[in-house]
Chain A
């Protein structure tokens, strides 16, 4: 079992179809495979144990994913936003490696024995092979992809995804060659994110054209969708928010007649944003996809019918599903309390998942699965009576005040209802009496003013007094990562 099979099948069935469109450059599925063959020959000859990519999105990313699979070594995309010391430390951990990069990032690299640095332009114009077709490894336990997670403390962990995990996910959730001839998906997540990798594998298996865009900007995204007649897209919630804002400001219609399906994930979607997006793009099918690196991407989906039912229902239990991440797909899912007891509907606890796509494994720390194969996602949440999953933040973010578990999300939601508040993040702060206390960083809307006591009253009135932030600081902005996740560890530093 090997993810290279995915490209083999696409190249055999639809070799002439465009696989990748990036600027003026085009690769058909046959050409993509040929490029991966060439790269695999170079990788093998270099004796590298890893194929690393330090680059923004380009055709080099899909070529490198499959070339690594043909060559039988793991693919490791690196986060190009890391600092120089952070990057060099990670490269040390993957040497000997075949490293694809550009001059801009190559400047950050310290010379290291065993690391063959290859410029992207060279990688994209490798010489033809002698015609030998690489023999694909069939060990399902071989590692296909290794991703360094952005650890909040300590060194980044190396999450590993085996060929069997990724193949189970793709074969179990995507219909082979299900894309129409003219379909195209626009990919704007960076190559080092699990969604960037699963987009390549899913699109290849569906034989769907991938339209690549480096970085994200709302106007450019809309223009690219029109230019390439994009039918499918994946975005993180922050990107959808930017598109909604842009469309509202410009007053022009979206004008995306070809766009049929828009999937989003990678963070919490604000209710107002998805409601506005659905109004602005009424012909588009929205899907909320919830997944983790350690689960080979998506494990639950809120599909288009769920979105429309929730948006139009008068039943509050159905309406609130717009804030749900949907039902489990090809995995089993359980909610457990801290003692491990499985909880019933509407009871909040920790989310556990099990299934062949779940790796739950790190290189140094080993498997995190329990004896029965369940993986603790460390996400908190609950299921409703019909099995829709609602997430409630990371268990690491829970504030434990005098033995009481407090979720930051519920307090943030209340703060955001104040007309002067533009953004809010709630974190734990050290407290002598309670162990941990509640603290909030708040961003006010331009020209708005509000005092701390008023916000504390608001929370006290809607929740309990234990939820009232004992300290509130006002900030110009909150720190977010490039995919729109608020960086609580940075906010916590204001309260130490």
Chain B
């Protein structure tokens, strides 16, 4: 599957569910962003047909949650929820704990 450059602001959607993400920050280089075992599709491109959620993937991408890799060099925001586990080059991403401040405005 094709690797692609990730840059802040760009959007990707899952090829196997409704999930959508927006890149908040990303390391330089080319990577494969996955969801539910299939490569995610960038921008407004159409998803390839016939792909299905990987068997055994019980993950779910939650709207409003931020997802990071182990060293937090990649951070994405889920803008639309859906089934599947997010991954970067095959490694599952984790939810980043929000540093929530007391409501100030």
| Residues of chain A having any CB pair with chain B under 8 Å | 1-2, 5, 8-9, 12-13, 135, 138-140, 163-164, 167-168, 171-178, 185, 195, 198-199, 202, 205-206, 232, 234, 261, 263, 265, 285, 287, 289, 291, 297-298, 301, 303-304, 329-330
Q: Is the interface of B mostly helix, strand, loop or mixed?
A: loop
Q: Is the CB of B99 within 8 A of A330?
A: yes
- Enumerate chain A residues within 8 angstroms of B92, measured Cβ to Cβ: none
Closest B residue to A330 by CB, please name it. Answer: B99
- Using A12-B80, A171-B24 as known contacts, say yes or no to A263 and B64 having CB atoms under 8 A apart: no
| Residues of chain B having any CB pair with chain A under 8 Å | 8-11, 22-24, 43-44, 63-66, 77, 79-81, 98-105
- Enumerate chain B residues within 8 angstroms of A172, measured Cβ to Cβ: 98-99
* CA A304 to CA B101, docked complex, whole Å: 11
Q: Please, could you name 29 A-B residue pairs with CB atoms under 8 Å apart, sorted by A? A: A1-B9, A5-B22, A5-B79, A13-B63, A13-B64, A138-B10, A140-B9, A163-B9, A171-B77, A172-B98, A173-B99, A173-B101, A175-B64, A175-B98, A175-B100, A199-B105, A202-B104, A202-B105, A206-B103, A234-B105, A265-B104, A265-B105, A287-B104, A297-B104, A297-B105, A298-B104, A301-B101, A301-B102, A330-B99
* CA A263 to CA B101, docked complex, whole Å: 12
| Chain A nearest CB, measured from B45 CB (Å) | 13
| Chain B nearest CB, measured from A62 CB (Å) | 14
* CA A5 to CA B10, docked complex, whole Å: 12
| Chain A nearest CB, measured from B51 CB (Å) | 23
| Chain A nearest CB, measured from B11 CB (Å) | 6
Q: Is the CB of A9 within 8 A of B105?
A: no
- Enumerate chain A residues within 8 angstroms of B10, measured Cβ to Cβ: 138
- Enumerate chain B residues within 8 angstroms of A8, measured Cβ to Cβ: 79
* CA A89 to CA B22, docked complex, whole Å: 39
Closest B residue to A200 by CB, please name it. Answer: B105
Q: Is the CB of A135 within 8 A of B44?
A: yes
- Using A1-B8, A135-B44 as known contacts, say yes or no to A9 and B103 having CB atoms under 8 A apart: no
| Chain B nearest CB, measured from A34 CB (Å) | 18
Closest A residue to B11 by CB, please name it. Answer: A138
Closest A residue to B64 by CB, please name it. Answer: A176
Q: Is the CB of A263 within 8 A of B104?
A: yes
Contacts A2-B9, A139-B9 known; 10 new A-B pairs at CB < 8 A? A1-B24, A5-B22, A5-B77, A164-B8, A174-B101, A175-B64, A177-B64, A198-B105, A202-B103, A265-B105
| Chain B nearest CB, measured from A29 CB (Å) | 13
* CA A285 to CA B105, docked complex, whole Å: 13
- Enumerate chain A residues within 8 angstroms of B99, measured Cβ to Cβ: 172-173, 329-330
* CA A139 to CA B22, docked complex, whole Å: 12
Closest A residue to B77 by CB, please name it. Answer: A171
- Enumerate chain A residues within 8 angstroms of B8, measured Cβ to Cβ: 1, 140, 164
* CA A140 to CA B9, docked complex, whole Å: 6
Closest A residue to B8 by CB, please name it. Answer: A140
* CA A231 to CA B73, docked complex, whole Å: 37
| Chain A nearest CB, measured from B104 CB (Å) | 4
A-B interface, 8 closest residue pairs, ranked by CB to CB distance from nearest: A176-B64, A1-B9, A289-B104, A140-B9, A303-B102, A138-B9, A287-B102, A198-B105
Q: Is the CB of B100 within 8 A of A173?
A: yes
* CA A175 to CA B95, docked complex, whole Å: 13
Point out which of B9, B10, B11, B104 has the most chain A C-beta atoms below 10 A from its C-beta: B104
Q: Is the CB of A9 within 8 A of B79?
A: yes
Closest B residue to A167 by CB, please name it. Answer: B24
* CA A315 to CA B103, docked complex, whole Å: 27
Point out which of A13, A174, A202, A301 has the most chain B C-beta atoms below 10 A from its C-beta: A174
| Chain B nearest CB, measured from A97 CB (Å) | 25
| Chain A nearest CB, measured from B103 CB (Å) | 5
| Chain B nearest CB, measured from A420 CB (Å) | 37
